[in-house]
Amino acid sequence: MAAQCLYCPQCHKKYSTHLRLFDTLYDFSKAAPENCPACGSARELHITLDFQLGVGDGDFKVVHAFLPDKLESWLGEDEEEVTLYPFLVVLQGAGESKQFCWMPYWHVVGKEARFGQHALCLEHSQFESLAAQAQQKMLVPA
Ligand SMILES: [Zn+2]
């Protein structure tokens, strides 16, 4: 699906993380990764996606990761609570200025996070266009 690591731009060293992608993105949405243990510089979160966007080698820097302020939950099978985590992740290709909006999502049931298939990945300008149109036409939530 996707591999992730923390990258130190000073040491040019990659640190693998043993967290699940869900936890990595969730943590990143709350706070920046811990600094490099070797040199103390801020580290970047990098993700290698198994789909190509026509730029680079599939290695992307995670610029931002967002979750909605309010998450939606409901009762699923066996009356277990299901919570949807729809991420908006801004990706940038290595050495590229182009940014992409990747929208992976998980259904979390108990301790299990199930990855939703067919996450959307749009070029930033396309995402902006959609968001701007929606903002104009949609009712402002009360
Ligand atoms: Zn370092």
Residue 141 has a pLDDT of 60
Query: Per the structure block, which two tokens stand in for 79?
Result: 């009356």
Cα 89 to Cα 66: distance, rounded to the nearest angstrom: 6
Give distance in angstroms: CA of 110 to centre of ligand 1: 36
Exposure of 106 by Cβ count < 10 A (0-12 exposed, 13-18 middle, 19+ buried)? buried
Give distance in angstroms: CA of 15 to centre of ligand 1: 10
User: What does residue 44 show for φ and ψ, rounded to 5 degrees?
Assistant: -105, 150
Please report the DSSP string for 65-125 in residue order.
Answer: EE--SS-EEEE-GGG-EEEEEE-EEEEEETT---EEEEE-EEEEETTEEEEPSS-EEEEHH
Residue 53 has a pLDDT of 58
Give distance in angstroms: CA of 37 to centre of ligand 1: 7
Give distance in angstroms: CA of 38 to centre of ligand 1: 5
Spell out, as residue ranges, where the chain has pLDDT lower than 50: none
Give distance in angstroms: CA of 35 to centre of ligand 1: 8
Cα 85 to Cα 114: distance, rounded to the nearest angstrom: 10
Give distance in angstroms: CA of 43 to centre of ligand 1: 7
Residue 26 has a pLDDT of 95
Give distance in angstroms: CA of 33 to centre of ligand 1: 13
Cα 89 to Cα 104: distance, rounded to the nearest angstrom: 8
Residue 2 has a pLDDT of 74
Give distance in angstroms: CA of 5 to centre of ligand 1: 13
Residue 24 has a pLDDT of 94
Give distance in angstroms: CA of 62 to centre of ligand 1: 18
